[in-house]
Amino acid sequence: MFRLSKRRKRFITGLITVIAVGLTFCLISHLNLLHGIFLKSNDFLFKAEDSNSKADPDEKIVIVAIDDKSLEQLGRFSSWPRSYHAELINTLAESGARVVVFDVLFSEPSIDDDELITSMKQAGNVILPVANTLEAHQPAMTGETIVSGTIIKPLKPFEESALAVGHANMVPDEDGIVRRLTLFTPDNEYQQPALALAAIAEYLRRPQIIEALPQDSYLSFAGRSIPLDNANNMLINYKVNPAAPLSFEAVSYVDVLRNGISPEIFQDKIVLIGITATGFGDIFWTPMGRVMSGVELHAQAMHTILTGNFLKPAPTSITFLSILFLALLCGLAVLRLRILLATLSAVFLSIIYFLIAFYFFDRGVLLNMLYPPLAVAGSFVGVNLHNVMTERLEKNEITKTFGRYVSPSVATMILGSLDEGSLKLGGEERTVTILFADVRNFTGLSEEMNPQKLVSILNRYLSLIIKAVLQYDGMVNKFGGDSIMAIWNVPINCPEHALLAIKAAVDAQQALRELQEKVRNLPKMEFGIGINTGNVVAGNMGSVDRLEYSVIGDAVNIAARLAGAAPGGGVWIGNETFNLVNGYVNAMPLAPLSLKGKQAKFQAYEVTGIRDRQPDDPISVMD
């Protein structure tokens, strides 16, 4: 059966993480959960365009501004006689203006209405606004602005005298910024066109303003295909002129009224008349981070329709593909490269996407500026978290596997030293207790059975000794074929190391006897156990290429000699160990022993049991 390597498994799980991140952001994009942030992010393109723009004023649109100068010289706007507007219309007609568009609502009667009506009829090119008392809302699933409400129209004589009427409403998005224009709204059975759409239709001398209803999210108009959303909104492609207060050629209302402006300025132009003076509240925030008056917003919408420079959001499929593709590239970089290079790769991917977005923005396609870059960040964070978790699991597995060869405490210490870069040769002098367990008559047993069976049986017995050692906080240090060595008080401090070693030995011998009684056909192996306490050097032994944590000293040799001398099933301890546990174990002194390599006789004791210890009883401890 084919099995994957750990490295390949880690790579595959990393890819699964990347795909999960990508699909999550696709879902967030589909549900529009971050709609407010999404709107702000797309404004970045407009701001960048604004800062780099060197556009000249549109030669086909002129704004007659009811500005502060006009109010200063003509008085408060609410007190202006409508004869001013009649005179203005006459002047513009004489100057050859093709279309005159008012962003002023004439819904209340006045004593000089007849004069204004006469001028409008004579000019035959005046377009008036209607105002909708609209309520705007954004459905949770689409985020598109939908409006509803009633329409306030100009007085009937004015409406009949005008060339056309159109709604003048500018509905901001939920964050108060105007990004789109509703091209037409329902008015009973009639579709009320936007003021900008009506003005361009008349400017281009179209027989009808709305020639056909939208199809496939496009409105066919004068040879143009205007992209719309589900609420009949057109994105305004703002044209800016950083060097001028207005992005279009503008003249003061009072200057036109007093013949202070050359007539050529209005020749064959769309002339917009509206308020730009401060204090009227007819101002709106735009995606560029600047405010514009309502009349300039209408001019911006007219410019977008007239030039055909429409903006269309990229299809949802493109957004989803961008999210998945960028997430995958970033994820592969994190999986394959070091953290610094992976970080630079993530930044590079984001920059490349922004540059591509600028390129398409200039060509009328508005790429999603939020979710694809977020997918890069999400993939970067997600895969790095995957790597951290995987490395932690692998480290735990290494520690666990390493602990099968050395004590888990030693494995942890060695791995910690590797992390700190402090793993080196050398050791320290410590007082420890050493336990040796040696099989009696192992040579005879090895001659009677095959090696594989012998190893299997030996491991079964040794596992009981190991279990007892670990239960009493000892460290299994090494195996010697038919013997095992364990130590206490290194590398972890263990104050009662002598008593714990004896308890482990007694429990191990008991467990060995119980196993033989339980499994009658199991070949019998008996272990002699020797325990000794003393000063040793504990640390990393060997070479820089091959290290082993061990203890060296005369106390180790004595423990080995005691194990070799102890009978099967017996536990012998040295004099130093006995002094530490005197009063806590039952031990019988042995005749002084002659140990190999020792000239003097050595006093040892045979442990016969463990006494019941009272909680307040003191115990001697050697440091």
Euclidean distance between CA atoms 208 and 215, whole angstroms: 17
Helices (H), 280-370: 294-307, 316-336, 339-361
Look-up: residue for tokens 């303003």? 209
Peptide bond into 491 cis (omega under 30): yes
Q: How far is CA 125 from the centre of its chain?
A: 57
pLDDT at 375 over 90: yes
pLDDT at 457 over 70: yes
Residue 485: its pLDDT value, please? 93
pLDDT tens profile 394-404: 777 766 766 65
User: pLDDT tier at 131 (50, 70, 90 boundaries)?
Assistant: confident
Residue 392: its pLDDT value, please? 82
User: pLDDT tier at 140 (50, 70, 90 boundaries)?
Assistant: very low
- Which structure tokens are listed for 527? 């272990």
* Stretch 13-22: mean pLDDT: 91
Euclidean distance between CA atoms 90 and 108, whole angstroms: 22
Q: How far is CA 551 from the centre of its chain?
A: 50
- Among candidates 245, 288, 320, 294, which has minimal Cα distance to 47? 288
Higher pLDDT, 191 or 344: 344
Exposure on the CB side of residue 268, measured as CA atoms within 13 A: 2
pLDDT tens profile 267-286: 999 999 999 998 887 899 99
Distances (CA, A) of 538 to 82, 427, 432, 491, 555: 105, 5, 9, 8, 12
User: pLDDT tier at 616 (50, 70, 90 boundaries)?
Assistant: very low
Distances (CA, A) of 100 to 57, 92, 199, 522, 562: 18, 8, 8, 111, 116
Euclidean distance between CA atoms 267 and 99, whole angstroms: 10
pLDDT tens profile 85-111: 999 999 999 999 999 999 999 989 988
Euclidean distance between CA atoms 130 and 195, whole angstroms: 8
The average confidence (pLDDT) of the chain is: 85
Residue 279 has what DSSP assignment?
Answer: T
Phi, psi of 585 (to 5 degrees): -135, 155
As to burial, measured by CB atoms within 10 angstroms (0-12 exposed, 13-18 middle, 19+ buried), residue 404 is: exposed
Residue 491: its pLDDT value, please? 79
Euclidean distance between CA atoms 438 and 530, whole angstroms: 9
Look-up: residue for tokens 């017996």? 570
Residue 404: its pLDDT value, please? 59
- Among candidates 471, 561, 458, 560, which has minimal Cα distance to 507? 471
Residue 289: its pLDDT value, please? 85
Phi, psi of 419 (to 5 degrees): -60, -40
Look-up: residue for tokens 């922004």? 354
- Among candidates 290, 349, 369, 355, which has minimal Cα distance to 44? 369
Higher pLDDT, 268 or 477: 268
- Which structure tokens are listed for 45? 């393109």
Q: Identify the top-confidence range among 30-34, 212-216, 367-371.
A: 367-371
pLDDT tens profile 480-489: 878 899 999 8
Residue 619: its pLDDT value, please? 41
- Which structure tokens are listed for 287? 């995606």
pLDDT at 317 over 60: yes
Label the pairing between strands 475-479 and 312-313: unpaired
List of residues 6+ apart from 359 with CB closer than 8 A? none
pLDDT at 265 over 70: yes
* Stretch 242-267: mean pLDDT: 84
Distances (CA, A) of 308 to 145, 303, 305, 312: 22, 8, 5, 12
List of residues 6+ apart from 223 with CB closer than 8 A? none
DSSP reduced 3-state for 147: strand
Distances (CA, A) of 383 to 15, 20, 24, 308, 365: 8, 10, 14, 44, 31
Residue 426: its pLDDT value, please? 61
Residue 566: its pLDDT value, please? 93
Q: What separation, in Å, do the N-terminal and C-terminal C-alpha atoms of the chain show?
A: 55
User: pLDDT tier at 469 (50, 70, 90 boundaries)?
Assistant: very high
- Among candidates 233, 213, 231, 209, which has minimal Cα distance to 222? 209
Residue 428: its pLDDT value, please? 83
List of residues 6+ apart from 338 with CB closer than 8 A? none
pLDDT tens profile 504-562: 999 999 999 999 999 888 888 999 999 999 999 988 777 766 667 788 999 999 999 99
User: pLDDT tier at 190 (50, 70, 90 boundaries)?
Assistant: confident
User: pLDDT tier at 614 (50, 70, 90 boundaries)?
Assistant: very low
Q: Work out the percent of the chain whose per-residue pLDDT is above 70.
A: 87
* Stretch 478-499: mean pLDDT: 88
Label the pairing between strands 248-252 and 224-227: unpaired
